[in-house]
Structure 1
Amino acid sequence: MPALSKKGISMPESPIRKLVPYADEATKKGKKIYYLNIGQPDIETPQKALDAVKNNDLTILSYSPSQGFESYREKLAQYYAKSGLSINKEEMIVTTGGSEALLFAMGCITDPGDEVIIPEPFYANYNGFATASGVKVKAVQGKIEDNFALPPISEFEKLITPKTKAILVCNPGNPTGYLYTKDEINQLADLAIKHDLFILADEVYREFAYDGAVHHSIMSVEKLKNHAIMIDSVSKRYSMCGARIGCLASKNKEFMNTAMKFAQARLSPPTFAQIAAEAATETPDEYFNEVIDEYVLRRNTLIEGLKEIEGTKIAVPKGAFYCTVELPINDAEDFAKWLLSDFDLNGETIMVAPAGGFYSTEGAGKNQIRIAYVLNIESLKKAIEILKKAIEVYPNK
């Protein structure tokens, strides 16, 4: 049999999706599952976006330009301007989800064997994107005790070598919900300039900032004009995960010219999804106000419930819709499997994401889980009740 590539063999499984077979078996047994493992919002997609697809008059479903429709990029520029960001249509490329934007960025700035520094825990697919690009992840570990705030800059500097090409951050964070302060963004900016590094900022949760906090974009730092690369997406903003429309943005012209070659190689982003995304830019502010109020209520409900479970440590999120929790157990992956295969409370159970897959440091996060609080309040309360009972009877504490 022909041999597979080392890259393919070393590609990590998704901690979010790899337990799906266990969930499928649980469903076949008649169990009801509350899905806390994946960031799929239950908020309705704006009707404008859905209607734009239903009511279009296309007679040929053709390619779009490789950089995306000009009309959509103009609308994106207007959207960013509302947030105080000056990003013109020539400084962005529409991508097939934020995932493709990250892959393009990795391809533009790294060669096999290069290194990218990432504060951990981090979005699990960063490990996959790095593996696909032949890049080594060097992790700076955050602490649950301080909500996974930015680690000291000195810890980043210890890891910088001639092969270091970039620092990658997610703001607000997945899986932590941490929202970087303006001071933390400026610290990263100074470090990037000092060592001539790129900063990749995954800002797909930019709309979700709570308790009066403000999202500070890496694109707002003037001195980072040639260092900043922003990743964005409509998936979470408009509850349009299935549209697979993202955006890659930078003021570095050489970078954008290089990224355009990657965009041309994959031809174009999907046409119907761009039509929906363009229409979604006209969503009124009231939509976001209501959504944020709902997520704050869900977050507060989750945190209050988790605090009643003895032995837990909780990183209180200030953005996004994820919470990382340390449980009084030995192995979160075993616990997550057990929840699906061996446990139920009146025929109901939960599916969670083991947090070990959100780290690159071996053994880190072994007793932590990520909870996506994307369920309605009643379902969330039920899920917390199930989690509390499960921990009480789980045999491998």
Structure 2
Amino acid sequence: MPNISKRGLEMPASPIRRLVPFSEDAKSRGITVYHLNIGQPDIKTPEVAIEAMNKLKIKTIEYSHSAGIESYRRKLVEYYKNLGINIDKNQILVTTGGSEAISLTFLSCMDPGDEVIVPEPFYANYYGFATAASIKVVPVASSIDDGFALPAIGEIEKMITPRTKAIFICNPNNPTGYLYSREELEQLRDVVKKHKLYLFSDEVYRDFCYTDKPHMSVMHLEGIEQNTVMIDSVSKKYSECGLRIGMMVSKNRDIIDTALKFAQARLSPPSLGQIAAEASLDTPASYFKEVHKEYIKRRDFLVEGLNKIPGVYTPVPKGAFYTVARLPVDNADKFCQWILSDFSYKNQTVMMAPASGFYTTPGKGIDEVRIAYVLNIENLKNAIETLEKALEAYPGRK
């Protein structure tokens, strides 16, 4: 029998979805599972998107342009202009989710064996995309003790080697909820400029910022316009995860032109998804205002509830809708499986993502979990109560 590819063997399993069989088994036993493991909001999708789908009258669902439907890209230009990002339609590539935007960025900008520096912990799928592209992720450590702030610039510079090609950030951050400041971004700009690197920025959570200061994009940084690539998506801001529509944005035309060649090979992003995504750009401001208020309520409720549990600590996230919590357990991977397979309280249990899967440094995150506060307050209340009882009963409690 032929061997599985080395790339396939090195591909990591998702810490977000790896425990799904245990969740399904719990549900088959009649247990309610509160899904705090994945960033799937329970917020309603904007009505304008649903209406666009319901009113659709077409006889054939055709391929779109490989870069995305032109009317959608033109409308995105206006959307970004309102954010102070001035681009044209040819500097936008519509992708199959933010995931494909990341993959195309890696494939277009980096060669096999090149290195990308990423603050750790980071969104687990970055490592999967990097593995598929045969590039090396070089982690630079951040800590729960200071809220996962950007590591000192000097520490990042220490990681730079002749094979380093890029620095990759997520702002606001998944999984930590950290929001990078203007000062931190300007420090990154200086390093990128000094060492002639790319700066990739995943900004799909820009609409979820909980500070007085507005979100700052890498597209706002002056002097490195040809070095930056911004990743965006409709999944979170419009609660449209299943549309699978993302964007790759750069003022570097060589990057976009190169990515377009890969995009042509996959033909086109989802046509129906683009129709709904284009309609979503007409979502009223009141929608975002209400969603923003709701997530602040959920964040505050969750953080307060977690920190009241003996031995549990989580910082206050400044953005996105995740937090990383430290638990008094010997091994969070084992605990997250045990709570699904061997525990329930009031016929309920909780599914979380072990944080070790968001690190590549061995031993890191062993007692941490990522929790997504994407459920309503009542469900969060039940989940927190269940988690507290589980920690009391867990055989491996520290």
Smaller-chain TM-score bracket: over 0.9
Find the residue that maps to 1:205 and give its secondary structure.
coil
Aligned twin of 2:133: 133
Q: Structure 1 stretch 256-265 or stretch 37-46: which is displaced more?
A: 256-265
Structure 1 residue 310 corresponds to structure 2 residue 310: yes
- Residue identity over aligned pairs, in percent, reads 55
Structure 2 distance, partners of 1:144, 1:180, is 15
Find the residue that maps to 1:56 and give its secondary structure.
coil
Aligned twin of 1:330: 330
Q: Deviation digits for residues 228-251 of structure 1, max 9, x if unmatched?
A: 100000000100000000000000
Residues 303 and 315 in structure 2, CA contact (< 8 A), matched pair in contact too: no
Q: Structure 1 stretch 308-317 or stretch 17-26: which is displaced more?
A: 308-317
Q: Deviation digits for residues 176-227 of structure 1, max 9, x if unmatched?
A: 0000000001011100000000000000001100132321100011211110
Structure 1 distance, partners of 2:82, 2:363, is 43
Structure 1 distance, partners of 2:211, 2:115, is 35
Q: Deviation digits for residues 369-393 of structure 1, max 9, x if unmatched?
A: 0000000001001101111111111
Q: Output the amino acid matched with 2:148.
A: F
Q: Output the amino acid matched with 1:147.
A: G
1:23: Cα distance to partner? 0.5
Aligned twin of 2:67: 67
Q: Output the amino acid matched with 2:187.
A: Q
Q: Output the amino acid matched with 1:42.
A: D
Aligned twin of 1:392: 392
Q: Deviation digits for residues 301-346 of structure 1, max 9, x if unmatched?
A: 0011011111122121010000000011110010001100111101
Aligned twin of 2:282: 282
TM-score under structure 2 length normalisation: 0.99
Residues 96 and 246 in structure 2, CA contact (< 8 A), matched pair in contact too: yes
Aligned twin of 2:9: 9
Residues 10 and 131 in structure 2, CA contact (< 8 A), matched pair in contact too: yes
1:67: Cα distance to partner? 0.5
Residues 312 and 327 in structure 1, CA contact (< 8 A), matched pair in contact too: yes
Aligned twin of 1:199: 199
Q: How does 1:13-32 map to 2 (within 5 A)?
A: 13-32=13-32
1:360: Cα distance to partner? 0.9
Aligned twin of 1:217: 217
Residues 64 and 268 in structure 2, CA contact (< 8 A), matched pair in contact too: yes
Find the residue that maps to 2:206 and give its secondary structure.
coil
Residues 213 and 318 in structure 1, CA contact (< 8 A), matched pair in contact too: no
Q: How does 1:349-388 map to 2 (within 5 A)?
A: 349-388=349-388
Residues 36 and 373 in structure 1, CA contact (< 8 A), matched pair in contact too: yes
Q: Deviation digits for residues 151-177 of structure 1, max 9, x if unmatched?
A: 001111111011101000000000000
Q: Deviation digits for residues 20-61 of structure 1, max 9, x if unmatched?
A: 000011111111111100000000001111111121121111
In the comparison of the two structures, how many residue pairs are matched? 397
Aligned twin of 1:231: 231
Structure 2 distance, partners of 1:8, 1:94, is 27
Structure 1 distance, partners of 2:29, 2:53, is 38
1:90: Cα distance to partner? 1.1
1:146: Cα distance to partner? 1.0
Structure 1 distance, partners of 2:6, 2:356, is 22
Q: Output the amino acid matched with 2:276.
A: A
Aligned twin of 2:171: 171
Find the residue that maps to 1:34 and give its secondary structure.
strand
Structure 1 residue 341 corresponds to structure 2 residue 341: yes
Structure 1 residue 90 corresponds to structure 2 residue 90: yes
Aligned-CA RMSD value: 0.7
Structure 2 distance, partners of 1:62, 1:388, is 51
Residues 119 and 150 in structure 1, CA contact (< 8 A), matched pair in contact too: yes
Q: Deviation digits for residues 244-293 of structure 1, max 9, x if unmatched?
A: 00000000111111111111111111111000000000001111110010
Aligned twin of 1:298: 298
1:147: Cα distance to partner? 0.8
Residues 356 and 364 in structure 2, CA contact (< 8 A), matched pair in contact too: yes
Q: Output the amino acid matched with 2:281.
A: T
Greater than 6 Å deviation, 4+ residue runs: none
TM-score under structure 1 length normalisation: 0.99
Residues 68 and 93 in structure 1, CA contact (< 8 A), matched pair in contact too: yes
Q: Output the amino acid matched with 2:229.
A: I
Q: Output the amino acid matched with 1:152.
A: A
Aligned twin of 2:154: 154
Structure 1 distance, partners of 2:87, 2:322, is 28
Find the residue that maps to 1:169 and give its secondary structure.
strand
Q: What are structure 2's unaligned runs of at least 5 residues?
A: none
1:145: Cα distance to partner? 1.0
Residues 306 and 312 in structure 1, CA contact (< 8 A), matched pair in contact too: yes
